[in-house]
Structures are given as structure tokens and as C-alpha cells.
Structure 1
Amino acid sequence: MSAPPILLIEDTPSLQLVYDAIIRGAGHAVICADTADAGLTGFKTHKPRVVVLDLMLPDRDGLELMRECLALNPDARFVVITANGSINRAVEAMRGGAYEFLVKPFDEGRFLAAIDNALRDHVRPPEETPEVLNDFRGFIGSSDTMQDVYRRIQSVSRSMATVFITGESGTGKEVCAQAVHDSSTRAGKPFVPLNCGAIPSDLLESEVFGHLRGSFTGAIADKIGAAAAADGGTLFLDEICEMDLNLQTKLLRFLQTSTIQPVGATRARKINVRIICATNRNPLEEVRRGRFREDLYYRLQVVPIHLPPLRERGEDVIAIARDAVRKFAAEEGRRFTGLAPEVEALFRTLPWPGNVRQVINVMRNVVVLNDGPLVTQTMLPLEILHHHEAMTNNAGPVGLPPEKPVVSLDGLMGRTMAEIERMVIEETIARHGGSVPKAARVLDLSPSTIYRKREAWMKDAAE
């Protein structure tokens, strides 16, 4: 049996002709419709696997038509088309069941890739009761909240849609981005991560889009930016809310046109990358405060993935701690085999403000300084034991910071201002679970400033 035709619903005659020619040129049969009613009739008659749908139709709303068709056949894959000014409509379509969306104008390669991916995704075995995973592409844990995350990653990985990852610091946002990439058809292509908060704002454009030699002071050679390095693969923009507003405008243009123009270049060129971004802030709050462009937010927030904090993941903290002990013991040549029961009981009660990163750091500390065979309470770092003691003595609600202590200058007297600055910065980072962005907000500094200072301190220590 021949495959069902692709249903193309587009009311502009010239565009319908172009799309029809491209699809037929790729070897697919096509049925065309120029109204919602004709599209619905074609959907019922030909039962297409893939529908290419323009959201702006003369007789009915395209989203309404898509919902009606999906009610008839939930397995159909819809590739929706929208204009630049209707990104929020495309986002609504994705949340309503669309497989992919394209923003006009788009190139032929992107158009055919969306259709081919939709066709490949359509034919897959029926789902039985979802398998409970104990680990998934770098994640450890079998809690219900993480099962939802695993399934969402598997689902979105088949699409080319932009993914927006949110979650507290230390929850594994880069692990999530890598998992989306590794589960996708781009797995064999580059995965390029870029921390927007770790790069000075005046250099970030060059890091993203590249530059030509001589384009600015210090540009002694051509540089390929992260976007070009990720061509064919995935570009991961971490701490996206730290990006300068001027660069946000250029990023929006890049997302709309799929073209980059290195600093100093006179011509733009096309590239093919998938964007995944992440933040530990509330992006909508950043939009309300004017620190993040609203149109960029809606262009990026196509498929959101929220990573839950560790305190909401139940027994996962035990699985993560056991896994970390096993790995670090093998690395360090120690005899650890697991956790003592009282340590497991303690770990279940702690709020873990630094999330998975904090647990891993605690386990590394224990393994490096001790030799096992079980992790006991006496081996734990003092801050963990102090927190447990404060909770036991009802010092305050779990997860809330303690009341501000009386400030003492005893430990600062006799030190230089440079030493005091380093002590304050490092202590603030430690009190916020190792998160530089959180410490930066408390200290009213740019995260890039803290990263530069820490790099300078490391160089001084090495010398």
C-alpha cells in the first residue's frame, strides 16, 4: 500500500504552489486545500499522517481546525505555519498538540526536515504502561516528577522546536539539554553549551556569532562563534536571562531568520541549529521587569521543561547519593559501599537548597576525606550537621534561611580589602548552594564579574 498523501492547507495561491512543488519534489504525494472546510474534508477522506497547516485561514481559525482533526485522529502530525507577528499563536498550537511550527519566511531545507521528522515519528509502536526509569541519560531517580521529565524529553527530542528549561540552580539543566540533544535526530552533530552569565556582555556577541580579524581591539584572528560551531546540531544557551538586551534583539533576529552575521562581517549566512535555553530565574518576572524581551520569551518558550527541586523528588536523593558514592569511591580508590541508615534518614529530611549539585559535592567531600565502608553522620561536612541540628531544635521552617546573624568583624580585622572581598563573595556563593547567579543578585554584581574574579584568584593561587 502506498503511504497516505500529505495534506497541505494554505489559502495563499502562490505559497500553496511553492509548498506543493517542494513536497512533491521530495517524493511525497500531496493533497491541497485552501480553506478550513476543504481541509477537514481532505483530512476525513485521505487520513493523512502529516498535515501542513497555515494558521491564518479565511473561513475558520487554524487552531480550531487542528483540534477538531486531532480529536478524529490523535496520531496525525501537524506542522503549523505562522507569520513573524504570530509567534504566540504558534506556541499555543504546540501546546495544543502541533508537532512542529515554522515561522515565515523559512528555507526549503527546514520545511522538508520538519515534514520528514513528522513522518518518521508517526510510525512507532503503541505505548503500553509507561516504563519506570531509574536513570535516564545522565539523570538519576525514579520519582513520579522525574518520570514526567523523562517522558517530556523523549517527546520533544523528536521535534525541532525550541526548548526552554527552568529550575533552581543545581537541578541539572545542562544534563537535561544534553539529554534532549542525545535523544534527537541531531545526536551525531555538535552540542555546544554557552553560559551567558559567565561571559562579559561586551564579548558575548562575539562568543555567540563569531567575529572577523580586526573587527575590534583584540580581535587578532577570525573566530567561529558558538552558533556556527553548532551548525547541524544544538546550541544550548544557559542562564539566558543574563543576556544583554541588545544581544537579545540579535538573538531574536537569528531565531526568525536562521542567519548569523559575525562581528565585522558584511554578509549574513544561513545555519541550521536547534536552540535550547535555560534559566534559574522566573522568565516571566524578568519580562515584567523589562530585563527580558517579551517577543523573545514567546519565541523561546515553545516547549517548556521544568526541573523540580530535589526536595520534591522523594527517594531520589538517596539514589543520587548512592550513585555519587559509588563513582567517587572508584575514582579515589576508597572502600565505600553505601550510606548508613541514619544518613539516609537525615538526607530525606534536608531541604538541599543546592539540589543535586549540593548532594554530589557533599558525597565527594566525604569520599575524599574518609575511607568507608559506609557513609556515617560523623563524616558529613559541618554545614550539613549544623543544618540538621538547627532543624532538630526547631530553629525555623525547613527550607527557609535562618534569621540574619549578628555581624561580627573579628574575622575581618587585619585583612586587606581584597581578602575581605574574596571572603564575602565565596561565603555568599556557599550559602546559596554554589550558585554564582544567586550570589551575584545578593551582592548586586554581574555574574560575569564574579566568574572573572574567581578565575583571577585561581591564577594567583597557581603562581
Structure 2
Amino acid sequence: MNMGGRILVCDDDAAIRTVVREALRRAGHQVETAASASDLRRAIRSFRPQVLLTDVILPDGNGLDLVPELLADNPHMPIIVLSAQNTFTTAMRATEQGAFDYLPKPFDLAELVQAVDDALARGAATGVEDDTRAGEDLPLIGRSPPMQEVYRTVARVVSNDLTVLVLGESGTGKELVARAVHDFGPRRSAPFVAVNMAAIPRELIESELFGHERGAFTGAAQRTAGRFEQAQGGTLFLDEIGDMPMEAQTRLLRVLQSGEFSPVGGARAIRADVRIIAATHQELPRLIADGQFREDLYYRLNVVPIRLPPLRERGADVGDLARHFLDRAAADGLPRKHLDPGALARLEQHVWPGNVRELENLMRRLAALTRDAVIGSTLIEQQLGIQSPQPLLQDAVGAGLDDVIEQHLARHFASYGSALPPDGLYDRVLAEIERPLLRQTLAAVRGNQLKAARLLGINRNTLRKKLTDLGVGPTVRRSE
């Protein structure tokens, strides 16, 4: 049962003060408000709040800059930072200054009340060394609600060594999240070592990860340190963990359980002083069901999951990202370019099957190859290969498709007479429809899988998996 607490709310917006005050009072708390940094200091002395909620931009100061000072005098008072400057920088600065939590504006009142209850239950803020990185070119860009969740999770895990599993489609920036966790954590001065499981031959993965002793196998002329040893004291990023072969999964699990590893061909155990961050674009529960991924390893890795949203779910961030990539291209020596409103609107309408990576590549290409300083919508459409709607695949998805499917199902059921067909009918019929659709799509784009994925509205890796699962062979590109 909530017994209530003393809550101080500081914001220069009277409407926000009123709304938050009433929501917290209805939740059973005593609430006082302040409109400035000077009012805030006076209220802390007189009201002695158990939790403080403060905006960042105040008439006479910066709420983030106040956090260390306030915590020094009130070490058991959790501080929740509220900010309309909802960027990665703000979330990280709030955490680094010692704030208990960070809520971007506009916030959900129920979430705010829950954050206050959590702060009261904790009873004290988590102090973090003040090492602000204002002005740095930070790796994560965007103000959309899905990215705010990413920022908040990253801010909560940087100060500990919990294992993180980053989930998201190819091109969403999973390695950037891993680097952010490392660069803002206590291991930042030690190595960040990344290894892509999908890029290593399966017979070499164990040697790559754990190293090998001289003579361990043919060609091992000298001792070689593996990625675990190279990352000692720092962070080991295991990208595309879903592609790790089963035998290597077993050995990785043993390392995570024991905290030690041995090089291939070696007997001595080496302590694994690394933080593990794994990432994948695959659905690991499905791989587990198919017997391709160890369930116990999944639970060892999935301590703190961070889901990176695809770019199509964060359309509000496209403009910020595009401008950021153009600025970075100019910093690299390419001509400075700008987007006109029509170009920006066209970018925001695009589905982005290649996600942030595709957008970045497009911006660099435009910066390098276009003559005009201002980029318009026509140029965007040309570069993305967008054409006017065509009756492409009309034979496959035309008006008569429903009748064809119904006739096929009627024959299917009739073939069983009075008995029902075996279970799994949905998957079997879906596979029968998908096979010709994939074949026709590949034929229409002359075997170009990237174009086929874009046309179908699915990720390229998803298309490849479907082609494999359904036994649809590669389509050879025909000459023009």
C-alpha cells in the first residue's frame, strides 16, 4: 500500500506544475512546487522532500547542473529529471550527474507516478561519477518515443556489468548501442572488442573467441590471444549471436557460468574479466524452438534486453538523422548539402528496408555526387529508385487471387473426405502462397534480393531466410 511521500516538483511551466502536482496528490503524496532554481533550494530547506522532480531548463539555472550540488547536501533524495530536450545527451547527462531517473516530455502521468513510487522505494539515488560529455558527437540520434526507451535503458545499465542483449533488424545501429554502453560505463578506458559471429567460419569460432596455444592445430605456429583475452577489463560485443554454431554456444555458456576460459589446446584457465553485450537480428525464441540455439544460453544473455526500433517506427527521427549524416559528411570533407522541405517529406515517407544504415549511405552519396547545395524531392526519388505505381505482379496479386485461394482450399479439404486435414494447415497454405509470390517477385526484379525485399516490404535478411526455409532457389540475373 502506498503510504505517500513528500515530493517537490520544479518546473517553470505553471501548467506542468499543476498537472503533476494533482496527479501525485491523487496518488497519495504531499506535493510542493517551485518555479526556479532559487525557489527549489528554498523549498528543499523548508519542505525536506523525499523525492525531487526537476525540469532541465529553469529561468535561473540548469536542472542537470544542480543535481550534483543537491545530492551532495541531500544524498538520500532521489532526483527525477524532466526534459523536453529529449536527446541521448540529456539521458546520459542525467544518469552521469547522479539522477535516479529521466523522463522525456511529454510524459505519461501514470509512468511519472510509478517513477516516483520507485524512487521512494529505493530511498536513495545512485551516485555516478560526474564525467559529462556535452558537445560530443554521440552515437544515438533521435527524439521519438521508441528511442527514448532505448536511451533510458542504456542510461540504467551503463554503471553496472549486467549482460545486455541488443535486438533489432540489420542496419538499426546495434553496435552503436553497444559502444554507448561501453563508452559511458566504468570500463570505458579498457578495450571495446567487437566480433561478428556470422563473418567467422564455424570451425574457427572457438579459436577466434578464446585464442589457441602453439601446436593446438595444424598451422598454429604460435600462441594467439582470442577476443576474450583482447577485451580483458573492457567489453566484448558478440554481434549476430544467433549465427553462433551449437558447439561454440556450449563453450560460451560455460564461460558465462564459470567466469573462466581456456585457449584451444591449453589447460590453464584464464579469468574472463569482460562485460558481454550480444546482438542479433534474429528471433532467438524461434531458433530455440528449431533446436538451433541453446535456451540456457539465451537466458544468460537476455539479462537486459534493448530493442532497437526499425526506422519505419521512428519516422519523426528521419529529419534529425538525415541532417546529422549530412553534417558528418561535411566534417569528413564532402560538400555541405541541405534538404528542402519536399525532400525531407519524401524521406519521412520512405519505408527504409535498410534502416538507419540505408539512410546514412544515401546522405553520403548525395553529399558526394550531387552538384546542388539544396537537395530536392526529385533527387531523393531518383536515388531511392522510386517509380510511379505500376501493376507489378498483377497476375500474382490481382483481383482474382481470393477466388484462386478459395478454390485451392476447397480441393484441399475435399481430398480428405469426411476426415479433417492434419494440424498446421495455416503454415502449409501460407507456404504454398509465399513460394510463387517470392518466385514472381524475384523474377520481376531480375533476382535482386534487395529490390525484392523492398518491394515486398520486408527486411532483406527475412527474405533470405524465407527463400531458404521455403526452398526457393536463387534467381539468376538476366542480362538486359
TM-score by length of 1: 0.60
1:336-351 → structure 2 map (5 Å cutoff):
336=337, 338-351=338-351
Q: How far apart in 1 are the matches of 2:442 and 2:300?
A: 47
Q: How far apart in 2 are the matches of 1:217 and 1:124?
A: 62
Partner of 1:441: 465
**Identity value in percent:** 39
For 1:428, give the aligned amino acid.
Q
Contact 2:88 2:151 in 1 (8 A): no
SS at match of 1:278: strand
- Cα deviation for residue 268 of structure 1 reads 1.5
Q: How far apart in 1 are the matches of 2:350 and 2:241?
A: 30
Partner of 1:407: 443
- Cα deviation for residue 333 of structure 1 reads 3.6
Which of 69, 86, 89 matches 1:133?
86
1:148-187 → structure 2 map (5 Å cutoff):
148-187=149-188
Confirm whether residue 285 of structure 1 aligns to residue 279 of structure 2.
no
SS at match of 1:217: coil
- Cα deviation for residue 189 of structure 1 reads 1.0
Tell me: CA distance 1:393–1:322, structure 2 relative to 1, closer, same or farther (3 Å): farther
Q: How far apart in 2 are the matches of 1:321 and 1:125?
A: 37
Contact 2:166 2:280 in 1 (8 A): yes
For 1:367, give the aligned amino acid.
A
Partner of 2:449: 428
Q: How far apart in 1 are the matches of 2:443 and 2:393?
A: 23
Listed one character per residue, the Cα deviations across residues 311-360 of structure 1 (whole Å, up to 9, x for unaligned) are 11132011111111122134244141x21111111111111111100101
Partner of 1:206: 207
Tell me: CA distance 1:403–1:393, structure 2 relative to 1, closer, same or farther (3 Å): same
SS at match of 1:404: helix
- Cα deviation for residue 390 of structure 1 reads 3.3
- Cα deviation for residue 129 of structure 1 reads 1.4
Q: How far apart in 2 are the matches of 1:435 and 1:217?
A: 40
Tell me: CA distance 1:341–1:270, structure 2 relative to 1, closer, same or farther (3 Å): same
Listed one character per residue, the Cα deviations across residues 202-241 of structure 1 (whole Å, up to 9, x for unaligned) are 0111110001122112222211100111111111000000
Q: How far apart in 2 are the matches of 1:224 and 1:430?
A: 41
Partner of 1:390: 389
Q: How far apart in 1 are the matches of 2:324 and 2:257?
A: 42
Listed one character per residue, the Cα deviations across residues 42-89 of structure 1 (whole Å, up to 9, x for unaligned) are xxxxxxxxxxxxxxxxxxxxxxxxxxxxxxxxxxxxxxxxxxxxxxxx
Q: Which has the higher contact order (CA 8 A, sep 6+)?
A: 1
Contact 2:165 2:303 in 1 (8 A): yes
For 2:465, give the aligned amino acid.
R
Partner of 1:363: 363
Q: How far apart in 2 are the matches of 1:197 and 1:374?
A: 40
For 1:366, give the aligned amino acid.
L
Q: How far apart in 1 are the matches of 2:297 and 2:184?
A: 26
Partner of 1:375: 375
Tell me: CA distance 1:394–1:378, structure 2 relative to 1, closer, same or farther (3 Å): farther
Q: How far apart in 1 are the matches of 2:233 and 2:357?
A: 31
SS at match of 2:223: coil
For 1:299, give the aligned amino acid.
R
Partner of 2:190: 189
- Cα deviation for residue 362 of structure 1 reads 1.0
Tell me: CA distance 1:383–1:442, structure 2 relative to 1, closer, same or farther (3 Å): farther
- Cα deviation for residue 195 of structure 1 reads 0.3
Q: How far apart in 1 are the matches of 2:224 and 2:165?
A: 27
Tell me: CA distance 1:335–1:276, structure 2 relative to 1, closer, same or farther (3 Å): closer
Q: How far apart in 1 are the matches of 2:293 and 2:275?
A: 21
For 2:449, give the aligned amino acid.
T
Q: How far apart in 2 are the matches of 1:134 and 1:392?
A: 43
| Long gaps (5+) in structure 2 | 1-74, 90-137, 398-433, 470-480
Q: How far apart in 2 are the matches of 1:436 and 1:217?
A: 38
- Cα deviation for residue 429 of structure 1 reads 4.9
Stretch moving more, 153-162 or 375-384: 375-384
Partner of 1:69: none
SS at match of 1:177: helix
Tell me: CA distance 1:180–1:131, structure 2 relative to 1, closer, same or farther (3 Å): farther
For 1:441, give the aligned amino acid.
K
Q: How many residues of Structure 1 are paired with residues of Structure 2 in the alignment?
A: 304
Q: How far apart in 1 are the matches of 2:83 and 2:309?
A: 20
For 2:231, give the aligned amino acid.
A
For 2:377, give the aligned amino acid.
Q
- Cα deviation for residue 437 of structure 1 reads 5.0
1:29-48 → structure 2 map (5 Å cutoff):
none
For 1:362, give the aligned amino acid.
L
1:213-292 → structure 2 map (5 Å cutoff):
213-292=214-293
Q: How far apart in 1 are the matches of 2:184 and 2:76?
A: 17
Q: How far apart in 1 are the matches of 2:464 and 2:88?
A: 33
For 1:378, give the aligned amino acid.
T
Tell me: CA distance 1:265–1:430, structure 2 relative to 1, closer, same or farther (3 Å): farther
SS at match of 1:386: coil
Tell me: CA distance 1:164–1:366, structure 2 relative to 1, closer, same or farther (3 Å): same
Q: How far apart in 1 are the matches of 2:392 and 2:453?
A: 22
Tell me: CA distance 1:267–1:134, structure 2 relative to 1, closer, same or farther (3 Å): same
Tell me: CA distance 1:408–1:354, structure 2 relative to 1, closer, same or farther (3 Å): closer
Contact 1:362 1:381 in 2 (8 A): no
Q: How far apart in 2 are the matches of 1:132 and 1:402?
A: 45
- Cα deviation for residue 132 of structure 1 reads 3.3
Tell me: CA distance 1:333–1:242, structure 2 relative to 1, closer, same or farther (3 Å): closer
For 1:297, give the aligned amino acid.
Y
Stretch moving more, 218-227 or 427-436: 427-436
For 2:207, give the aligned amino acid.
S
Q: How far apart in 1 are the matches of 2:86 and 2:180?
A: 14
1:301-340 → structure 2 map (5 Å cutoff):
301-336=302-337, 338-340=338-340
